[in-house]
A and B are shown apart, each in its own frame.
Chain A
Amino acid sequence: MEGLLRGKEISGMREIDRLMEAACSYDKKRFYFPIRHHSPVCAYHLMRVIESYAPDCILIEGPDNANDLLEDITDPDTEAPLAIYYSFRDKNGLLEGKRGDYRCYYPFLDYSPELVALREAARRGIKCAFIDLPYEEILLAEKEGEGLRKEDDRSSYNDDRYLSENSYIKKLVENAGLRSFDEFWEHYFEIQGLKAYTEDFLKNMLCYCVLSRASSDRQALLEDGCLARETHMRSIILKKSFEHKRILIVIGGFHVAGLVKPDSWITNGELDLLADNRDTFFDAGTGQGSFFDEKKPVIPDVFLNDNIELKRHTIDEKDKGVYLMSYSMEACDRLNGYASGMPHPMFYQRIWEGIVKSSSDDELGEEDYGIISGTGEYDSKEFPCNIYDQVILRYLVDVGKKVRRKEAYPSTYDEICALNMCSNLAGLRNKCCPGVYELIDSVLSNYVKGEYNLATDRPMRTLRKELTGKKIGRLNESAKLPPLCNDFEKMCHAYRLDVHSSTKKELTLSIFSTKRHREISSFFYRMEYLDTNFAARKKGANLRLRKDRNLIREIWEYKYSPDVMSALVDASVYGGTLKEACSGLVEKRLFMEADASKVSELVISMFEMGLEIQSKRVADRLLAVIQEDSNFFALAKAFSNVTMLMDLSELYSSDMELAPIREVLVTKLLSMLIHMIGVKEEGVGEMLDALKELYGVLLDKRYEEDKLYYIDVIKKMIKADDIHPSILGACQGILYAYAEIDKREITISMEGYLSGSGDRMLHAADHIRGVFYMARDILFVDDSILNMLDEYVGNTDYDTFIRMLPQLRLAFSYFTPVEIDRIAGRIAGKYNMTGERFKQLHEVSNEEFAYGKELEKKVLQLMGVI
Chain B
Amino acid sequence: MSETKMMRLPMEEAYKDELEALAANDSGRRPAGWKLSPKAVRTFILGSREPISHNGKQVEIHKKYFGNDALIERCIVTLAGNRGLMLVGEPGTAKTMLSELLSAAISGNSMNTIQGTAGTTEDMIKYSWNYAMLLDRGPIREALVPSPLFVGMEQGIITRFEEITRTPAQIQDSLISVLSDKVLNVPELGAEGLLFARQGFNVIGTANTRDKGVNEMSSALKRRFNFETVEPVREVRMEKQIILQEVSKLAMENGIEMEADETAAEVLASTYHELREGVSSMGHQIDKPSAVMSTAEAVSVFYQTMMSAYYYGDSKISMDDMVQNLVGAVVKENKDDLPKIRSYFQTVIKDKSQKEGDVWKAYYEAKKYLG
Instruction: Using CB atoms and an 8 Å cutoff, list the residues of chain A in contact with chain B.
Output: 175, 177, 179, 408-409, 411, 414, 417, 420-421, 424-425, 427-429, 437, 441-442, 444-446, 448-453
Are B223 and A424 in contact, CB atoms less than 8 angstroms apart? Answer: no
Beta-carbon contact of A451 and B77 below 8 Å? no
Q: Is B82 an interface residue (CB 8 A)?
A: yes
- By the criterion CB–CB under 8 Å, are A445 and B74 in contact? yes
The interface residues of chain A lying within 8 Å CB-to-CB of B49 are 175
Contact bitstring B69-111, A, C-beta under 8 A = 1, else 0? 1100110111011110000110000000000000000000000
Kindly state the separation between the CA atoms of A179 and B69 in the bound complex, as whole angstroms: 8
Most chain-A CB neighbours within 10 Å: which of B39, B42, B219, B229? Answer: B229
B217 within 8 A of A: yes
Q: Which 7 A-B pairs have the closest CB atoms?
A: A452-B229, A424-B77, A451-B88, A445-B226, A449-B222, A445-B74, A451-B209
30 contacts across the A-B interface (CB closer than 8 A): A175-B49, A411-B223, A420-B81, A421-B74, A421-B77, A421-B81, A424-B38, A424-B80, A425-B74, A428-B39, A428-B42, A428-B73, A428-B76, A428-B77, A437-B70, A441-B70, A445-B74, A445-B77, A445-B78, A445-B228, A446-B226, A448-B227, A450-B88, A450-B217, A450-B222, A451-B88, A451-B89, A451-B209, A451-B227, A452-B229
Cα A454 to Cα B229 with chains together (Å)? 13
Which residues from A are CB-within-8-Å of B38?
424, 427-428
A448 to B82, CA, bound (A): 17
CA distance A428 to B99 in the complex (A): 19
Q: Which residues of B contact A421 (CB under 8 A)?
A: 74, 77-78, 81
The residue on B at minimum CB distance from A430 is B39
Q: How far is the CA of A414 from the CA of B74 in the complex (A)?
A: 15
Is the CB–CB distance between B73 and A408 below 8 Å? no
Are the CB atoms of B70 and A451 closer together than 8 Å?
no
Q: Is B61 an interface residue (CB 8 A)?
A: no
- B247 in contact (CB, < 8 A): no
Chain B residues within an 8 Å CB radius of A429: 73
- Decide if A445 touches B227 in the complex (CB within 8 Å): yes
Q: A420-B81, A445-B74 are in contact. Are A452 and B227 (CB under 8 A)?
A: yes
Which residues of B are found within 8 Å of A442, using beta-carbon distances?
A: 74
CB nearest to B68 among chain A residues: A179
Across the interface, name the chain B residue whose C-beta is closest to A444: B74
- Roughly how many angstroms separate A297 CA and B89 CA in the complex, as a whole number? 52
A177 in contact with B69 (CB, 8 Å): yes
Chain B interface (Cβ < 8 Å from any Cβ of A): 38-39, 42, 46, 49, 69-70, 73-74, 76-78, 80-83, 88-89, 209, 217, 219, 222-223, 226-229
Q: A417-B83, A449-B222 are in contact. List 10 more A-B contacts (CB 8 A).
A: A175-B49, A177-B69, A411-B223, A414-B223, A417-B82, A420-B81, A421-B81, A425-B73, A428-B39, A451-B227
Chain A residue numbers with a CB within 8 Å of B229 are 451-453
Q: Are A449 and B73 in contact (CB under 8 A)?
A: no
Q: Whole-angstrom distance from the CB of B8 to the nearest CB of chain A?
A: 28
Interface of A is mostly: helix
**Residue among A417, A428, A448 having the largest count of chain B Cβ atoms under 10 Å:** A428
Shortest distance between the CB of A6 and any CB in chain B (Å): 11
Contact partners of A437 in chain B: CB under 8 A: 70
B38 to A, closest residue via Cβ: A428
Tell me which of A175, A425, A449 contacts B219 (CB under 8 A): A449
Instruction: State in angstroms the CA–CA spacing of A451 and B80 once bound together.
Output: 21
Q: Considering the complex, give the chain A residue whose CB is closest to the CB of B72.
A: A428
Specify the chain B residue showing the minimal Cβ separation from A456.
B227
Complex: A179 Cα to B209 Cα, angstroms: 26
B70 touches A179 (CB 8 A): yes
Question: CA separation between A444 and B228, bound complex, in Å?
Answer: 8
Find chain A residues with CB under 8 A from B76 CB.
428
Contacts of B70 in A (CB 8 A): 179, 437, 441
Among candidates B73, B81, B82, B227, residue contacting A450 with C-beta atoms closer than 8 Å: B227
Q: Which of B70, B89, B217 is most buried by chain A, counting CB atoms within 10 A of its CB?
A: B70
* Complex Cα–Cα for A448 and B223 (A): 10
Residues of A within 8 A of B46 (CB): 177
Q: With the chains together, A409 CA to B225 CA distance in Å?
A: 13
Residues on B with C-beta less than 8 A from A425 are 73-74, 77
Contacts of B78 in A (CB 8 A): 421, 445
Report chain A residues within 8 Å CB of B69.
Answer: 177, 179
Give Cα distance in the complex from A409 to B220, angstroms.
11
A638 to chain B, nearest CB (A): 28
**Distance between Cα atoms of A427 and B77 in the complex (Å):** 10
Min CB gap B117→A, angstroms? 21
Smallest CB gap from A448: residue in B: B227
List chain A residues, Cβ under 8 A from B217: 450
For B89, the chain A residues whose CB sits under 8 A away are: 451
Q: How far is the CB of A395 from chain B (nearest CB, A)?
A: 17
Q: Considering the chains assembled together, what is the distance between the CA atoms of A576 and B217 in angstroms?
A: 62
Nearest-neighbor residue (CB-CB) of B82 within chain A: A417
B73 touches which of A417, A441, A448 (Cβ 8 Å): A441
CA distance A442 to B229 in the complex (A): 13
Q: State how many angstroms separate the Cβ of B182 from the closest Cβ of chain A.
A: 15
Given A424-B38, A428-B76, A429-B73, A449-B81 contact (CB < 8 Å): no
Which residues of chain B are within 8 angstroms of A409 by Cβ–Cβ distance?
A: 219, 223
| Distance (whole angstroms) from the CB of B254 to the closest CB of chain A | 34
Kindly list chain A residues whose C-beta atoms are within 8 Å of the C-beta of B77: 421, 424-425, 428, 445
Residues of B within 8 A of A428 (CB): 38-39, 42, 73, 76-77
Minimum CB–CB distance from B50 to chain A (whole Å) comes to 12
- Asked whether A417 lies within 8 Å of B81 as measured between CB atoms, the reply is yes
Cα–Cα, bound, A411→B180 (Å): 14
Q: In the bound complex, what is the Cα–Cα distance between A441 and B75 (angstroms)?
A: 10
Bound-state Cα–Cα, A446 to B83, Å: 10
Chain A residues whose CB sits within 8 angstroms of the CB of B226 once the complex forms: 417, 445-446
Could you say which residues of chain B place their CB within 8 Å of the CB of A417? 81-83, 226
- Nearest neighbor of A424 in chain B, beta-carbon distance: B77
Q: How far is the CA of A429 from the CA of B77 in the complex (A)?
A: 11
Complex Cα distance, B220 from A408, in Å, reads 11
- A396 shortest CB reach to chain B, Å: 14
Which of chain A's residues have a CB closer than 8 A to the CB of B39? 428
Closest beta carbon of chain B to A170's beta carbon, Å: 14
Looking at B46, B78, B209, which has the most chain A CB atoms within 10 Å of its CB?
B78
A449-B74 contact, Cβ under 8 Å, with A417-B81, A417-B82, A421-B81? no
CB distance from B81 to the nearest CB of A (A): 6
Whether the pair B219, A408 counts as a contact (CB closer than 8 A) is: yes
Using Cβ atoms and an 8 Å threshold, which residues of chain B touch A427?
38
Q: Kindly provide the distance from the CB of B136 to the nearest chain A CB, expressed in whole angstroms.
A: 46
**A411 vs B219: C-alpha distance when bound (angstroms):** 12
Return the chain B residue nearest A410 by Cβ. Answer: B223
Chain B residue numbers with a CB within 8 Å of A408 are 219
> What's the minimum C-beta distance from B37 to chain A, rounded to whole angstroms?
9
Least CB distance from B44 to A in Å reads 13
Cα(A179)–Cα(B68), bound, Å: 9
Chain B hits for A453, CB < 8 A: 229
Q: How far is the CA of A414 from the CA of B77 in the complex (A)?
A: 14
Which one, B74, B83, B209, contacts A441 given CB within 8 A?
B74
Q: How far is the CA of A556 from the CA of B228 in the complex (A)?
A: 49
Cα of A829 to Cα of B19 in the assembled complex, Å: 96
Contact residues in A for B73 (Cβ distance below 8 Å)? 425, 428-429, 441
What CA separation (Å) do A779 and B99 show in the bound complex? 77
Bound together, the chains give a CA A451 to CA B217 distance in angstroms of 11
Residue ID in chain A nearest B226 by CB atoms: A445
CA distance A446 to B227 in the complex (A): 7
Tell me the minimal C-beta distance from A178 to chain B in angstroms: 9
CB distance from B279 to the nearest CB of A (A): 20
Contacts of A449 in B (CB 8 A): 219, 222-223, 227
Please, which residues of chain B bring their CB within 8 A of the CB of A411? 223
By a CB distance below 8 angstroms, the chain B residues around A448 are 227
Please name all residues of chain A whose beta carbon is closer than 8 Å to the beta carbon of B222 when the two chains form the complex: 449-450
For residue B220, give the distance in angstroms from its CB to the closest CB of chain A: 11
Residues in B neighbouring A444, C-beta threshold 8 A: 74
Residues of A within 8 A of B219 (CB): 408-409, 449
Name the B residues within 8 Å of A451 (CB-CB).
88-89, 209, 227, 229
